[in-house]
């Protein structure tokens, strides 16, 4: 039997972590401090977004979460944990589509480090 997670109040003297993920049909994220959840976010993908590459879906998840939690993150150093290894080098890669350029521009002005976290299999 599992328990519902208890959300904590943010402590602005501590670092935040944003963990994101994308699937075939949706994106999701959790805002954490010291491994404890502050907020959750999920969104179903539109018909147009369903045809995007895995890379673009993962990038969309990151950008959507950062924009949503802007009041918590702007002006603070934080970590972004992703399970798509190539996104770790996001700012060093060539931008190949107008959508990617638009999304990456939304990340400008934030102070963060992207960390790769191996995905765990679910049963």
CATH number of the domain within which 79 lies? 3.30.420.10
pTM for the predicted model, two decimal places: 0.85
Distance between CA 56 and CA 66 in Å, rounded? 15
Q: Which domain holds residue 102?
A: 16-116
Residues 6+ apart with CB under 8 A from 9: 38
In this structure, are strands 16-22 and 26-33 parallel, antiparallel, or unpaired? antiparallel
DSSP-derived secondary structure letter, 13: T
Residue 9: inside a domain: no
Distance between CA 114 and CA 69 in Å, rounded? 16
Task: Report pLDDT digits (tens) over 2-12.
Answer: 677 899 999 99
Task: Report pLDDT digits (tens) over 50-105.
Answer: 999 888 899 999 999 999 999 999 999 999 999 877 766 666 667 678 888 888 88
Domain count, the chain: 1
Residue 123: pLDDT band (50, 70, 90) is: very low
Q: CA separation (Å) from 96 to 23, 47, 77, 116?
A: 21, 21, 27, 22
């Amino acid at each position: 039997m599992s328990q519902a997670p208890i959300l904590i109040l943010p402590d602005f003297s501590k670092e935040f972590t944003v963990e994101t993920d994308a699937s075939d049909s949706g994106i999701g994220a959790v805002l954490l401090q010291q491994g404890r959840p502050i907020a959750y976010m999920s969104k179903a993908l539109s018909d147009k977004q369903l045809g995007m590459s895995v890379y673009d879906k993962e990038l969309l998840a990151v950008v959507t979460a950062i924009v949503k939690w802007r009041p918590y993150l702007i002006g603070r150093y934080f970590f972004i944990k992703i399970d798509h290894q190539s996104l770790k080098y996001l700012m060093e890669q060539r931008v190949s589509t107008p959508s990617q350029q638009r999304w990456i521009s939304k990340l400008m002005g934030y102070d963060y480090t992207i960390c790769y976290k191996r995905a765990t299999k679910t049963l």
